[in-house]
Amino acid sequence: MDKPITKKRARGKLSREMIEDAAFEVIESEGLSGFSMRKLAARLGCEAMSIYHHFPSQAHLYEALVDRQMSGLVIPDDSLPWRERARIGLQEFRRVATEHPAFAPFIVVYRMNSPPCLAKLNAIIGLFEDGDFGPELSARMFRAASYYLMGAILDETAGYAKGPSAVTTVSDEDLARDYPSVAAAGAYFGAAGFDKTFELGLEMFLDEMERLREAAGSETAQGGGDRGQTKK
């Protein structure tokens, strides 16, 4: 049952921030599929039309929620070593995207074309460009990092965090007897192990990026040497 914040609220006292706060609350309690502007209005204790005064549609509201989350993403400055900047940037996106677990499946597949989101994406892609990969490899590394983040975030918020998906399940005893590898690995799959697993994958990803950086640097140096010999 929806619990209104107040029984009745005048439109002039309803702010965008209040609506966004309540929207996150409703999404977390009802899920994305159970969210509606009617339920949001009930939570706020107002008429739905009062919400539409601030957000013309649910799409506009969801865009504002994404913008709000992305605005909280901290981009590390260039005073840090490149690898540390990359690590923090990826950790930050995971942190922001999982702040509201029920909303996470929306934010990770949402195409972020609004000005606030584009500003953050521009900064993040710029971080990859600072790694001296070149334009194409920088873009592909950014996308590859996005794939890793999307999978991790979806699994942590809508996968193992939700428990078994199958209707037909087996008992713990049958699992241990018939599927011993799954049973043994399962001890590390739960929410308590999310951080350690994510950090392991992140370090592997960063190691490969560093290898590619070194290879690109060697090719550039070699190319410069060849050109220098040609000039002689």
CATH code for position 142:
1.10.357.10
88-139, pLDDT tens digit by residue? 999 999 999 999 999 999 999 999 999 999 999 999 999 999 988 889 999 9
Same domain, 203 and 89: yes
Dmax of the chain from CA atoms?
85
In a domain, 50, yes or no: yes
59-88, pLDDT tens digit by residue? 999 999 999 999 999 999 889 999 999 999
CA 186 vs. chain centroid, Å, equals 24
Same domain, 77 and 124: yes
Which residue matches tokens 């965090």? 161
Among 175-179, 197-201, 208-212, the least confident range: 208-212
Same domain, 52 and 80: no
In a domain, 231, yes or no: no
What pLDDT sits at residue 7?
44
Separation CA 115–CA 131 (nearest Å): 25
What pLDDT sits at residue 159?
81
In a domain, 188, yes or no: yes
What pLDDT sits at residue 228?
46
132 within 8 A of 217, measured Cβ to Cβ: yes
CB atoms within 10 A of CB 189: 14
Same domain, 137 and 168: yes
In a domain, 205, yes or no: yes
Same domain, 176 and 95: yes
Same domain, 109 and 173: yes
Same domain, 115 and 49: no
| Burial bucket for residue 14 (CB in 10 Å: 0-12, 13-18, 19+) | buried
Same domain, 78 and 163: yes
Same domain, 42 and 145: no
Q: How many Cα atoms within 13 Å fall on the side-chain side of residue 204?
A: 8
| Predicted structure pTM score | 0.83
Domain with 183, as residue range(s), is: 73-218
The percent of residues in the chain predicted with pLDDT above 90, rounded, is 74
If one counts the domains in the chain, the total is 2
Same domain, 130 and 172: yes
Nearest of 57, 53, 61 to residue 12 by alpha carbon:
53
- Tokens linked to 4: 């209104």
